[in-house]
A and B are shown apart, each in its own frame.
Chain A
Amino acid sequence: MRPGSLLPFALAFAPALARAGACCGSSSLLPTLITGDDRAQLGATLSNAALMGRAYSSGPAVFHGEGESESTQTLSIAAALRIFDRWQAGVQAPVVRQENSVGTAHSTRTGLGDVQASVAFEALPEWSYSAWRPQGFVFLGVTAPTGKPMSEATDPMGSDATGRGDWGLSAGSYFRKTLQAWDLFATFSFTRFLEKQIRQSNLSLRYAPNWGAAAALGVGYSPGRGDWRFGLSLSPVYEWARRYSGSLEGTRTEKLVWNAGAQVAYMPSMAWSFGLAYSDQTLLGPVHNTSLSRTASFSVQRRWEL
């Protein structure tokens, strides 16, 4: 089996690869993509993110002390469908469960996260072999604030916050190349977060639009070009500073987090893939204004061939 066949499945880990580090609600900045010769795909990812602490605009990161824990379990369903020859559409919907524990106080809440939809075009198809030219896609996506942002959380510990509260419009590209038993991939995307209004108590704030960016680089190896793939990846996620006005005026400083990841994928047939992934936001820096999590994921994907 071609090792590159497992690369499409690597994108099932996209939520783990590029988990936005924004507080209290995570979303993937990469869409679900069909990169193989498939008509449709449906996948489910179950992840557990243990929030180790937070980094602020200045000073060292603060990790949780004893008797304190925060974790997020997410079940994300992702589907993609080939519309025309090289065009496809996809959607991702997460259900988020947050657990907060401090001493004897405990809080658990579940809710829908931010839903994402995307359309992609295979700009560099793999019609014939090339020693150097990668396969490439360009995509456009939209993130809807269907999750509850922290500013609207009613739980005292913020456990019912499941989204970031922003409409986001994304554009990006994805490239992959298979070299015998090895594969390489790279993806880049920019997101425009639209203006938003926040009302809390007697505060009324308007947040100006701002930009976010994400990238991911990865390498994988399939021993004997068989059914297994072992991969590593690195994904920085950055958000520019954001002005706010109204009851208060100021600028929220930029956000930056690094996702270092490892993945194992198994593809027993062309129709099914399974995988495990680990992503760690505490290893690399610098980091600013972000939560810091360690995430373990299990994914399964079903594909339908053309």
Chain B
Amino acid sequence: MTLASFVRSTFLFVALPACGQSPLLHHVHDQSRNEPPIDTSTVAPKPTDETTPAPACQISLPKSNLCASLTWTVPSVPRKKKGAFELRFTRPGSNELVDAPATVGVVLWMPSMDHGSSPVTVERKGRGLYLATDVYFVMGGEWDIIVQLLQGEEEVLDQGTLKVQM
């Protein structure tokens, strides 16, 4: 085999499998992902006052007959910045805030990578209103924000999931 035929063979050997998209030629940089998290659920966000019609449930907790809506107060930037969001609990079809019947917890989970992130702190701010802080995503991608109602520290009474694209 001559050198020319080796080079030709090597090129074909590499080029044939590369007919798919090369990451080097088709990628974006993290700088372009500074926009707020994108809610990938199909539900519209919450109303701003009690006179407007109640939207469909953004995060459904069926066992407790509750809806939770999430509003970012401090956008989280994956790896770079912890964020914070408000959770407002209502009954389905109602705008009236109601207290959750148990302790509210939030867990972050990345289903495509089999891992979560560091713990989220949740604090009650008022009737049906909770603030989640220390919301940190260890990498970008699609995440599940799981809102849980807890008895004690570990028993999960109910939970609902919101999918977001970080």
Contact = CB atoms under 8 A, between A and B. Distances in A.
A121 B28 CA distance: 46
Interface stretch (A83-91, A123-131, A246-254): A246-254
Interface stretch (B53-61, B88-96, B123-131, B138-146): B138-146
Given A68-B79, A151-B114, A253-B112, A247 B22 contact: no
Contacts of B6: 182, 219, 221
A248 B109 contact: yes
Contact of B144 (A62, A182, A248): A248
Interface residues of B, number: 48
Contact of B116 (A57, A62, A179, A201): A201
Interface in B23-79: 23-24, 26-31, 33, 79
Interface string A236-256: 100000001001101011000
A65 B77 CA distance: 12
Contacts, number: 155
A211 interface: no
A284 B18 contact: yes
A63 B10 CA distance: 28
B23 A200 contact: no
Contact of B148 (A66, A165, A202, A250): A202
Interface in B107-166: 107, 109, 111-116, 118-119, 136, 138-142, 144, 146, 148, 150, 153-154, 156, 159, 161
A248 B150 CA distance: 16
A102 B150 contact: no
Contacts of A248: 109, 111, 144, 146, 161
B27 A61 contact: yes
Given A62-B29, A198-B115, A285-B18, 18 more contacts: A60-B23, A61-B26, A61-B27, A62-B30, A65-B31, A68-B30, A156-B138, A157-B79, A158-B115, A158-B139, A200-B115, A219-B9, A232-B14, A247-B156, A281-B23, A282-B23, A284-B14, A284-B17
Interface of A: 23-24, 53-57, 60-66, 68, 100, 102-103, 105, 149-151, 153, 156-158, 161, 165, 179, 182, 198, 200-203, 207, 217, 219, 221, 232, 234, 236, 244, 247-248, 250, 252-253, 258, 260, 281-287, 289, 292
Interface of B: 1, 6, 9-10, 13-14, 17-18, 20-24, 26-31, 33, 79-80, 105, 107, 109, 111-116, 118-119, 136, 138-142, 144, 146, 148, 150, 153-154, 156, 159, 161
Pairs A-B, 9 closest by C-beta atoms: A65-B30, A286-B20, A150-B115, A61-B23, A65-B31, A61-B27, A285-B20, A285-B21, A151-B115
